[in-house]
Amino acid sequence: MTERHDTPIQDTLHMPGTLLKAERERQGLSVDTVARKLNLKPSLVDDFERNQFDKVQIAAYRRGYLRSYARLLHMDEAIIVDAHDRQFGREDASTPRAAPIQTIKPRSGRPGRLGRIVFRLFTLLVIAVLAGLTLVWWQSRDNTPDVTDDGVDTTALPASESITQIPTPIEIPDTTAQVSPTPEQQDTAPTTEPATPAIEETAPSTPEVADSATPDTSSAPVATDADTAVPTLAMSFAQDSWVRITDSSGKNVISGLQTAGTTAQAEGTPPFRLTIGNASHVTLRLNGEQVNLAPHTRSNNVAKFTLNQ
């Protein structure tokens, strides 16, 4: 009777699961610890230790799990596999042996967080660069001098314009003063010499010429009165400054780069449209009175405004 009971007990002691469980308990490892290191469920490890392999139908997979378990406990893998083959046979030994399933552990969250941080920093850098470029473009647009419609900047000298406009109203009154006495002299000419008929006939003809001339000359002084004096702009530059000034007709009276230490003067018909760069170093006078540029100067030191007489 004793021999019949000893044989099943000895067979159980040599089963692969029994051997693995005994070694695990000897090393003081828990089922959860072994399952975590093998990337298996604790219930599957418990089934292996109880020699129940129903959940793993393919024998090659069972052998792979048993080898991994034996390798973890530093046991001889061949002993565990042979114990399995004695219990379940080697019906699939001739088939290609499948490698144990290797579960890839998920990477830690540090690289992901680092990547997100780098991406955010890169995004902020791009936004900062775009904002800086936009600001530079905006400031350069305000500092860019305006160009005439045909694309060419006119740099007319103000002195030449003032010279061409001043002489005509000044010389006309002098001519009227010289012509005006002629009718009086010719009116007295017939009275001084009544004896000569030829002179009497020609004398009336000369007043007719004088009369025809006097209306033309008398009308000129009306345009040269002080009331029609052209407004004068005078500018002085402590530093280099780009200036453009147009009158009511759109004509450029001053245009171009003015160098430090120079002055400019021009005349025109108001209102004047002014664009003055580096305005804090420019002095502007209209008809001798200084014009305050500070209220019209922007943050980029460019003044743009319209000036009436």
Kindly write down the DSSP assignment for every residue of 134-187, as one continuous string.
Answer: HHHHHHHHHHSPP--TTS------HHHHHHHHSHHHHHHHHHHHHHTHHHHHHH
Long-range pairs, 144-149, Cβ under 8 A, ≥24: 145/242, 145/244, 145/275, 145/277, 146/244, 146/275, 148/252
d(CA 144, CA 134): 15
Which among 24, 27, 28, 45 is positioned nearest to 36, based on CA atoms?
A: 45
d(CA 207, CA 185): 9
Task: Tell me, rounded to whole angstroms, the distance of Cα 114 from its chain centroid.
Answer: 29
Token pair in block for residue 174: 């002098």
Query: Which residue ranges of the chain lie beneath pLDDT 50?
Result: 1-10, 93-96, 109, 147-168, 171-215, 217-227
Identify the pLDDT of residue 144. Answer: 58
Identify the pLDDT of residue 54. Answer: 82
Identify the pLDDT of residue 110. Answer: 54
d(CA 308, CA 229): 15
Query: Do residues 304 and 266 make contact, with C-beta atoms less than 8 angstroms apart?
Result: no
* Single-letter residue type at 135: L
d(CA 66, CA 49): 10
Query: Quick check: helix, strand or coil at residue 305?
Result: strand
- pLDDT, one tens digit per residue, over 239-272 is 999 999 999 899 998 999 999 999 999 888 889 9
- Total-model pTM: 0.30
d(CA 125, CA 182): 89
Which among 60, 74, 62, 57 is positioned nearest to 17, based on CA atoms?
A: 62
Which among 281, 72, 53, 243 is positioned nearest to 158, based on CA atoms?
A: 243
Cis omega before residue 145 (within 30°)? Answer: no
Identify the pLDDT of residue 185. Answer: 44
Identify the pLDDT of residue 115. Answer: 86
Identify the pLDDT of residue 102. Answer: 62
Query: Quick check: helix, strand or coil at residue 292?
Result: coil
* Single-letter residue type at 267: E
Identify the pLDDT of residue 187. Answer: 46
Identify the pLDDT of residue 17. Answer: 86
| CA neighbours closer than 13 Å in the CB half-sphere of residue 86 | 13
